[in-house]
Amino acid sequence: MHRPLIDPQTRAYLKGLRQDIVFSETLCGQPLTFHTTWGLFSPKAVDEGSRLLLDHLEVRPDDDTLDLGCGYGPLGLTLARLAPNGTSVLVDKDFVAVEYSRKNAQKNGIHNVEILLSNGFDQIGPRRFDLILSNLPAKTGKELYYLYFYDALERLRPGGRIYVVTITGLRRFIARAFEEVFGNYEKVKQGKTYTVAMAKVE
């Protein structure tokens, strides 16, 4: 059976879609250029939740940080710039996200990073962190959130912090879960759409 051919105009359109999307942003005063692709989260601009999270977290120059679910790297690479004397670990379960995070680290000249394909914490090993953050997906089950939170509890150093940003509709669940797991909860910033929350390990 003869397969219909794709017309040249459509073929040119598809070729364009396969090219990297490239844009520049300034995050926490750090100019960064990102290469992304269709299929990754928020491929044309850094999303509102990530921006809110970056605008309301505290990072020390020597913090060892973890970006859980890094996508193409806007959070973790910004942390690497803000904590030049620490190591920023970026993990994602999507190999395409990991590939683009590595590409963006290289293109922005960021070397104090480790970028791993990992389902949550399973490839991180016993290392410990001063700061863990995540832009939590809204449609992930609460069971997975608990896995993330308890794994974070075991990997945060004394005085370490976890920051998450979620849709505002999840804020009460996050408050209960943080109190249950970490014994404390702080609502750092509540916006109309997203809320940033933080807990500490004493």
The amino acid at 39: G
Per-residue tokens: 125: 């090993």
As to burial, measured by CB atoms within 10 angstroms (0-12 exposed, 13-18 middle, 19+ buried), residue 191 is middle
Task: Give yes or no for residue 140 having a pLDDT over 90.
Answer: no
Look at the chain and count its residues.
202
Q: What is the pLDDT of residues 7-62, one digit of tens each?
A: 889 988 988 889 999 999 999 999 999 999 999 999 999 999 999 999 999 999 99
Question: pTM to 2 decimals?
Answer: 0.93
Minimal CA–CA distance to 31: which of 112, 109, 132, 103?
A: 109
Per-residue confidence at 2, pLDDT binned at 50, 70, 90? Answer: low
141-179: pLDDT as tens digits? 899 999 999 999 999 999 999 999 999 999 999 999 999
Give the residue extent of every domain in the chain: 47-200
Say what the pLDDT of residue 23 is: 97
Provide the pLDDT confidence category of residue 85 given band limits of 50, 70 and 90: very high
- Give 178's DSSP letter: H
Please, which residues bridge with residue 88 across strands?
A: 65, 113
Tokens of residue 91, six digits: 């993990």
Residues 65/132, Cβ–Cβ less than 8 Å: yes
d(CA 183, CA 196): 17
Q: What would the CATH number be for the domain defined by 47-200?
A: 3.40.50.150
CA neighbours closer than 13 Å in the CB half-sphere of residue 87: 8
- Mean pLDDT, the chain, rounded, equals 95
Residue 1 banded pLDDT, cuts 50, 70, 90: low
